[in-house]
Amino acid sequence: MRKITLLTALLISAVFVFGQTFTGINDAKINSKKDNIGSPSKKEFKPMANAKATIFEEDFEGWETTWPPTGWTQIDGVSSAQHWAYSTDTENGGNGTGQARVQYDFNQDEWLITPAISIPSTGIYMFSFDWSMYYDWMVSPNENGDFTIEISTDGGSTWTMLWNEDDQLVVETPTIPWPWETYTYYTSQLDLTAYAGMDVQFALHYVANDAARVQIDNIKVYEAYEDELVITRPHFWFNYGGGYLAAQPYEQLVGIFFGAHVWNNGINDATNLVLSAEVLNEGSSLYLQTKDTVILSAGMEDSIGIATGFAEYLPDFGQTYDVTISVASDAVEPDMTNNEYATDFIVTEGTFARWKEYTGGVSAWNFVDAADGDYCGVKFYVPNADTLYGCRVFIDDRTNPGTTIVPKVYQITETERIEFIIGDEIDILESDLGNWINIAYPDATGTDLVVEAGFTYYVGFECYFGTDTLLFGTDAIGAPHNYQYESVLRQGADSWYYFESAPMIELFTADIVSAPEVTAANSNINVYPNPTEGVINFTNVAKSKITVYNVLGEVVAQVNNANDLTTIDLSRFDNGTYTVKIENNSKVVIKKVVLSK
């Protein structure tokens, strides 16, 4: 094997900058034109406020034949045919399949009203709801409708507006951008302090004239915690290439830097924050670094980076590295489930990959003004001289046979994108649907595929689809990705963009190896209670392997081929923090559990 260069100057003590960019040309962002190219099992990193106690909850499950839900009131507009209704639209809020939805029509005035709810006189109570809407038709450039949350204290005689989708001051939070993304589910939370000790009702009110559908799910009234830190966005920077790598070749290893956006969602200022990043292999810690912050005021968010990067790779390939980013402060939070984020990456013999979980489909076909010959791909930074043998792509099973792709690799310099490799046309066959296609790049001279050190390469395909559908598998889970540095789209001759997912395209710097198994992502693994007095419950872990490690990296408990609901009893062990590793179909979830008896 050739000697590995790890860019040591960056690994020892680099200044972490969230805005760092790779050496090359930045692209503008573009959004998909398709509403429902979503996922066989939609998943995204979605930080949530924790609840001390929930006094009202409606997830809209089980109301297929009886609508509205028991105790609710619906008032239909008299001038339209579309009203609030039960829906199992694929764009759901992540809790089963049911949701409340109103489709667009003309002259709409649609009400859906909760039962009366008594707000206690003590404690901090919040109203939260998940929502998904079309920005262009509700806000700008076409303000054709309004969706509001309204509250009544007199049995519905009068109403006061609490939330409106086009009020930036109300909508925008550390977890909701402005403008918000069309048909992406967000969670909004409203403070009910002004209504303490009152009986109230809430209304979902939709007034529109040829606007767009609105989807609502997971309504809750709950008591909030005084102290609560939330990691709203973890950050992974694989050196100059930026973004996240699910797989990198052993001879192309780079240093990794970690950080996070942290939100203080409590009512108290958080003092002496510590952001930690830990990398483990088989339960043994290889790297643990922290960054201290003196104070984070209530309601504020800060971006925190850890200066020293990770480079403690083991001396062989085939290893999985588990990463946990977590935050804590002086205050003891009763529920710390949103204080951490965990993922993993692998070191391979010769494969680059960005995608981690198969959650949907994407290609040049998806986008506004799509045309035959447009290009869709993935960016990879290659730090050391090497040979690009080929690539592979996963074909989503919604693709029409007879569509065509042409492999193409661009080399990116400071000023231009150079066509480096052009492959032969590949016609998609029926047998390709739901499978990988392996492609060996042509090498006429024996040196055509040799690349210099220190360049970024776009690895992808020109797409030819006519009036048919052409989709590659893609990963749209959000974190740990930073898609600006991962995805790439070319429309026409030279209009370049990035988009919000990581196509399932892999690059080989060694001979083509066997394809990884692809299954739909499991988005619903739960581990509770945490902290625990002994028993840990696991849900949605069927057929998984669960391993629990102590602080020394020793295995203290293990379950093979777990049931969907599994429990592990740690009560015989000492108090402390334990690492839980959940493995299923090569996917790994890492959790930290605190045992406090």
d(CA 409, CA 407): 7
* Cβ-proximal residues to 179 (8 Å cutoff; 6+ apart), any chain: 135, 139, 140
Q: In Å, how far are 147, 158, 572 from 165, measured between CA atoms?
A: 6, 21, 51
Please give the full DSSP string across 114-180, using - where no structure is assigned: PPPEEPPSSS-EEEEEEEE--HHHHTSS---EEEEEEEESSTTSS-EEEEETT-HHHH-BTTB-SSP
524-597 CATH pick, 2.60.40.10, 3.40.50.920, 3.30.2010.10, 2.60.40.3080 = 2.60.40.3080
Check if CATH label 2.60.120.200 holds for domain 53-223.
yes
pTM > 0.75: yes or no: no
**Topology (CATH) of 20-32+363-508:** Jelly Rolls (2.60.120)
Write out the E strands in 268-422: 270-281, 284-296, 301-305, 319-328, 340-348, 351-353, 360-362, 374-382, 386-387, 390-395, 404-412, 417-422
**What does the pLDDT profile of the chain (597 residues) look like in tens digits?**
233 334 433 333 333 333 333 334 555 656 554 433 333 333 344 555 666 789 999 999 889 899 999 999 999 999 999 999 999 875 555 555 789 999 999 999 999 999 999 999 998 899 999 999 999 999 999 999 999 999 999 999 999 999 999 999 999 987 788 998 888 888 898 999 999 999 999 999 999 999 999 999 999 999 888 898 999 889 999 986 589 999 999 999 999 999 999 988 888 899 999 999 999 999 999 999 999 999 998 878 899 999 999 999 998 889 999 999 999 999 988 878 889 999 999 999 999 999 998 888 899 998 888 999 999 999 999 999 999 999 999 999 889 999 999 999 999 998 999 999 999 999 999 999 999 999 999 998 888 899 999 999 999 999 999 999 999 999 988 889 999 999 999 999 989 999 889 999 999 998 777 777 676 554 467 788 888 899 998 887 877 888 888 877 778 888 887 877 888 999 888 888 887 888 776 566 767 788 888
Does 20-32+363-508 match 53-223 in CATH topology? yes
Query: What residues does each domain of the chain span?
Result: 20-32+363-508, 53-223, 524-597
